């Protein structure tokens, strides 16, 4: 792992961990934010969420973000952790920044928040795509198939040579037996 990657992953994890800690510690602060988009949730068929449900969901998502953020920061299953963080950020970006419900200066603030969230999602997806120099499963499979064909061709070549040498030896043995008889 390069020095840049070693520094970038923990730095990228900080906002996710911080928002997770805030959600776990202060779920009531998030109730108003979610209640603002309750009509939209109802239109999507999710239904309006009551404050108790919002509080529990806020803590659960916060805990997931803390665990995934720490995992990404210390390099434990960083790809899975990054995908988890990106997925949670998509939903939170929509809830925190309801551009469709705002106008004027508030809309500009929501757009700025949405753009920031998109940056975090992009960073998390970049981490999720980093295989640390290891080949992808698709490459491994294609490489295996390619080498399998090469090995089969090599085995066929050796079998042909072996058959030729066997025929020569059998011929020599037959001549030696003829000489021995005479």
Write the pLDDT tens digit of every residue in 113-165. Answer: 889 989 999 999 988 887 766 777 777 888 888 888 888 888 889 999 999 99
In the chain, what are the domain boundaries?
3-129, 135-182
Could you tell me where the DSSP H helices lie in the chain?
3-25, 28-36, 38-43, 51-74, 78-96, 104-129, 137-181
CA distance readout (Å), 120 to 123, 125, 135: 5, 9, 25
Apex CA 21: angle with CA 18 and CA 23, to 5°? Answer: 110
Angle between helices 51-74 and 3-25 (to 10 degrees): 160
Contact 15, 120 (CB under 8 A): yes
Please tell me the distance from the alpha carbon of residue 86 to that of residue 122, in angstroms, as a whole number: 8
pLDDT along the chain (182 residues), means of 10: 82 94 90 81 81 89 95 91 94 84 87 90 88 73 83 88 92 89 78
CA distance readout (Å), 99 to 21, 112, 120: 25, 10, 18
The full length of the chain comes to 182
pLDDT of residue 68: 96
pLDDT of residue 133: 65
| pTM, 2 dp | 0.67
């Amino acid at each position: 792992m390069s020095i840049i990657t070693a520094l970038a992953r923990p730095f990228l994890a900080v906002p996710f961990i911080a928002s997770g800690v805030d959600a776990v510690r202060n779920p009531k602060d998030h109730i108003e934010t979610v209640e603002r988009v309750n009509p939209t949730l109802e239109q999507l068929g999710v239904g309006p969420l009551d404050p108790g449900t919002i509080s529990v969901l806020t803590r659960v998502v916060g805990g997931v973000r803390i665990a995934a953020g720490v995992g990404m920061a210390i390099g434990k299953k960083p790809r899975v952790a990054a995908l988890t963080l990106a997925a949670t950020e998509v939903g939170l970006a929509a809830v925190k920044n309801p551009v469709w419900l705002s106008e004027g200066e508030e809309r500009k603030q929501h757009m700025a928040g949405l753009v920031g969230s998109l940056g975090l999602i992009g960073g998390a997806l970049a981490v999720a795509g980093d295989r640390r120099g290891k080949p992808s499963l698709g490459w491994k499979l294609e490489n295996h198939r390619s080498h399998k064909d090469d090995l089969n061709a090599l085995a066929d070549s050796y079998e042909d040579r072996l058959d030729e040498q066997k025929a020569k030896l059998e011929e020599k043995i037959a001549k030696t037996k003829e000489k021995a008889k005479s």
